[in-house]
Amino acid sequence: MTRQVVEILIKKYLSTQQNQYIFSWQGGEPLLMGLDFYKDVIHLQQTLARPGSVIGNGIQTNGYLIDEMYADFFSTNNFLVGISCDGPEHLHNKFRKIPDGRNAFHLVMDGIKILQKHNVAFNTLTVVTSEHAGKGKLVYQFLKDIGSDYHQYIPCVEYDKNRKKLPWTIEGINWGKFLIEIFQQWLIDSQKISIRLFDSIILVLLGQPSGICQIERNCCQYFVVEHNGDVFPCDFFVRNDTLLGNITGNMWDDLLNSEKYRSFGTRKSLWHSDCDRCQYLKFCAGDCQKHRTGKGKSGRPKSVLCEGWQLFYKETLPEFKRIAQSYRQSYLRRMSIEF
């Protein structure tokens, strides 16, 4: 991304009316841009923001290039760092290969230690592949042991151009079982670890927005801005038919209100007819559009993970409801004491 593009992006975004402005720097591998790029980002944000603006920056990295200078910068500028970590060495290295033969797992662990040394806030993002089936307890405990208090688990669902499932894709039922294993360990730990999906389920039970697009009923959640300024509605749908425009030539509100963006968003609610009769629709909304590759009526395919989601919610929802009720009662008690 050139400086011209990033300056236009920051200027147009900060000119909108928001409670806070969130920039999530991703790639590819975003650290390849070099530290000077992000120093310039901070300068532009400070220069172009209106007084009183609240700005947050997050970055998602494989962790290989984290060094003392990057960590010091992240600490000084309050970056939230997401580290891709798929668990112990044999799981992480199964599908993550470095062309020059270096050990990807060792590089990630080194990067995490440097972040901890500089007190950088970080979370872990785990891509759950076919290799993770039956290993939820192992992965959870490993991430906890390396100091990760914030976990995010993403199912790997990938097909080739002939719609043939790729070998690293996790089966729906195994995804559900994996989440149950994570949930059981989370309960044993008295919910001390923050797991993004679990936090979102509790928020829904408390009548709050979930905070994750997979649960929401509309996919108008954010913009993806590519290196050349092209804008797309979702990082799973960066393709010609979903191109919304270009940040250098289109006004922010025009992109936000475009028919193509709104149409993409409303497609989320066009779920499979079986979903209308599902007691877990409130927590799924038919799942991510990317996962809707199964059989469907009238062009409304079902998520390939549906069986797993149903298994997970059947097993865990009663306990989630108990936890949400406990939070609600605790809040009411605090309010009664204060007033």
**Is the separation of the CB atoms in 143 and 85 below 8 Å?**
yes
For the beta carbon of residue 172, count every other beta carbon within 10 angstroms.
Answer: 23
- Read off the tokens for 170: 């996790």
Q: Round to whole Å and give the CA distance between 262 and 82.
A: 29
Strand partners, 58: 24, 80
* Residue 298 burial class via C-beta count within 10 angstroms: exposed 0-12, middle 13-18, buried 19 and up: exposed
First to last CA, the chain: 53
Residue 121 carries which DSSP code? -
Strand stretches in 140-295, DSSP E = 150-155, 194-195, 224-225, 230-232, 245-246
Strand stretches in the chain, DSSP E = 21-25, 55-61, 80-84, 122-128, 150-155, 194-195, 224-225, 230-232, 245-246, 296-297, 300-301
CA proximity to 189, closest of 233, 224, 137: 137
**Is the separation of the CB atoms in 7 and 44 below 8 Å?**
yes
Look up 235 and say whether it is catalytic.
yes
Q: From the candidates 67, 149, 235, 253, give the one annotated as an active-site residue.
A: 235
Q: Which residues are known to be catalytic?
A: 235
